[in-house]
Amino acid sequence: MHGWRSIGRILALALGVGLAAAPAATAQVRTLKAVAVAGKRYVALKDLAAMYGLPLTTPGGKTLLIRGQYTSLQFTADGREAMLNGSKVWLHVPVIKVRGDWSLSDADAQYVVDPLVRPSAYLGTRGARTVVLDAGHGGKDPGTTSRTGFKEKDLVLDIALRTRAHLAAAGVRVVLTRDSDRFWELDDRPYLAARGGGDVFVSLHLNAAATRTVQGIETFVTAAENYPPTAGTGSKFPAVPNNRFNHSNHVLGNQLQRALVGITRAEDRGLKHARFAVLRNSAMPAALVECGFLSSAQEAQKLATPSYRETVALGIAQGILNYFALVNRAKVELGAPLQQRPAQMAAPLAPAPAPPPVAPVPMAARAAATSLVVAAPARYAAAPAPILAAPPPAAVPVQAPPAPPAVPAPAPPPVAAAPLPAVRPAIAPPPMSLLNPNLVTRAQ
């Protein structure tokens, strides 16, 4: 018996896991003391902080802070807005005082906070091979339209095709619900995702608001059972099929929002909750991304340019790859430490800086051979459905032509040899090689 214990200790030390930390690794939010208030259960923030081995502090005003070497959780007293490890996240319900202690709803502690603090505890059984990209609207449904006439259905299709190219280049299998101007009912899209064998489902949309100054990016995941959506009212919120992925949904949505805001520098409107049809019926972790507001003149102008849509696509692809990196990390990690170190994310997708004169890499040159379009449901059997999404017409170009200057830079300007880290070249394709032909007729 003692021999087996010794072997266990040796293995634990070899893997860098302290045996004393094992009980803490299995701690769960649901084991914390909860108090019922108005039909909802709350856990004290100080108890959650103690579970992580961190202090709860009140720096001033309405700020409630739990902070450690790898964790920073900032809540607002009597508010729903939180900053979790630097990302804006909307809680299901406000943080309130219960029996003298600032407390968080049990659903927010279990499904929102803890998965973002230690994702490895929740992602070990998830897949990381196939992405289903859903370009919203299409066909007879144009979605929202900018004042200059750009339609949501065309712009999101272009973004989806660009995202597909990046993911395919990274070795990810990509399934599209549509690769042309085609209409699908909302209820059909989760069906297509399941039929395509997806591991995650990401639906792409553009936003609109009555106030034209509203802008920014926001990501939605399914609201927890018995809790309202971020922008909703009502009293009854039954469980939906996608609720069984509550933990994974929040990790996926958070990675998408972080990557998109990080690369576009758009306003961070946060990770929110909803019960959209494409989310609530999804049979896999799912998120819906609103990539910007066409009702905002400033954002509509950016979205009308190929280079900005390319940047948005890079952010979406990077967020998905980061989520897959967390899934793969969870599969090999022994236990789930309460304070996980920052995960090793996927390598950035932005093209490596080339010699100064090199032209931008056309997106059409990226192979999309691993990308599929799933077959139509039975009632659409008569409609032709593409099998393999072939690369765009201009997909055969050779790599960017070598730059005229030789590797050793000319001697005259010595500064030219030093790279300019702050300058990121545009990544727009040639004007006549747009991935979505519906946008060719418009001035870019």
Residue 174 lies in a domain: yes
pLDDT at 26: 54
Identify the pLDDT of residue 441. 46
**Domain count for the chain:** 2
Residues 209 and 327 in one domain: yes
Q: Say if residue 81 is exposed, middle or buried (CB neighbours under 10 Å; 0-12, 13-18, 19+).
A: middle
CA angle 70, 71, 72 (to 5 degrees): 135
Residue 345, domain member (yes or no)? no
**428 in Cβ contact with 307 (< 8 Å):** yes
Output the six-digit token pair for 194: 């399941």
From 312, 332, 352, the end of a domain falls on 332
**pLDDT, block means (10 residues), the chain with 444 residues:** 44 37 57 93 96 94 94 97 96 97 97 96 95 96 95 97 96 96 93 94 97 96 96 84 98 98 97 96 97 97 96 97 96 82 76 45 42 56 37 41 48 41 38 59 44
Residues 104 and 45 occupy one common structural domain: yes
Domain range for 106: 24-117
Residue ending a domain, among 117, 143, 169, is 117
Look at residue 305 and tell me if it is in a domain. yes
Residues 74 and 168 both lie in one domain: no
Q: Which of 332, 352, 368 is the last residue of a domain?
A: 332
- 323: in domain: yes
**What pLDDT shows up at residue 270?**
98
Looking at the structure, tell me whether residues 185 and 327 fall in a common domain.
Answer: yes
* pTM (predicted TM-score): 0.78
Question: Is 403 within a domain?
Answer: no
Please indicate, yes or no, whether residues 172 and 296 belong to a single structural domain of this protein: yes
Q: What is the pLDDT of residue 394?
A: 40
Q: What is the pLDDT of residue 350?
A: 60
CATH number at residue 246: 3.40.630.40
- Ordered alpha helix ranges (H), 112-176: 114-117, 152-169
Instruction: Please indicate, yes or no, whether residues 50 and 186 belong to a single structural domain of this protein.
Output: no
Same domain for 250 and 154: yes
Evaluate whether residue 4 is within a structural domain: no
CATH number where 95 lies: 3.30.457.10
Same domain, 313 and 216: yes
For residues 315 and 187, state if they share a domain. yes
If one counts every other C-beta atom within 10 angstroms of the C-beta of residue 429, the result is 22
In the β-sheet with 40-44, what is the strand arrangement from edge to edge? 34-37, 40-44, 101-105, 96-98
- State residue 27's pLDDT score: 72
Same domain, 79 and 150: no
Q: State how far the Cα of 168 lies from the Cα of 333, in Å rounded to an integer.
A: 27
pLDDT of residue 200: 98
